Structure formats: C-alpha cells, structure tokens
Amino acid sequence: MGDQRALDAVSRIERALARIEAASSRLKPFQTTSEDLAQLRDAHQALRSRVEGAIGELDQLLASGGS
C-alpha cells in the first residue's frame, strides 16, 4: 500500500517537473539595461528610506511608552 502511494507521489512530481520545464522553455530571456538597473537602484533606495523612517517612528513610540 505504501509503495503505491510513493509511486503515485513520484509520478505527480514527474508530471509537475514536466510542466515546469515546458513553461520555462516558453519564457523569453530577460534583458537588463543600465537604465533598468538605475530604476531598480532608485526604487530600492526609496523603499529603504521609507523603511528606515518607519523603524525610526517605531523606535520613538517604544521609547515614549507608546504615547
């Protein structure tokens, strides 16, 4: 009984891998330009600044006891 369940699981895994391989062969390669990288750096810096600000506000709230 356990052997059949294991075989069924392996079969499902093999079918899933076949679907993944088929889907990946249809993907177009991603081309990165220096402009793309500059936009990603800018977005990263903006997000980083927002997170630093939020953490600073949390620190202040914790330091003041939440009031």
Gyration radius of the chain's alpha carbons:
24
Q: What is the DSSP string of 19-38?
A: HHHHHHHTPPPPPP-HHHHH
Tell me the per-residue pLDDT of 7-58, one tens digit each, with 9 for 90 and over.
999 999 999 999 999 998 888 777 889 999 999 999 999 999 999 999 999 9
Amino acid at 53: G
Name the 3-class secondary structure at 1. Answer: coil
Q: How many domains does the chain have?
A: 1
- Tokens found for residue 44: 């990263």
Q: Which domain holds residue 57?
A: 2-63
pTM attached to this predicted model: 0.49
pLDDT band at 67 (very low <50, low <70, confident <90, very high): low
Who's near 35: CB < 8 A, 6+ residues apart? none
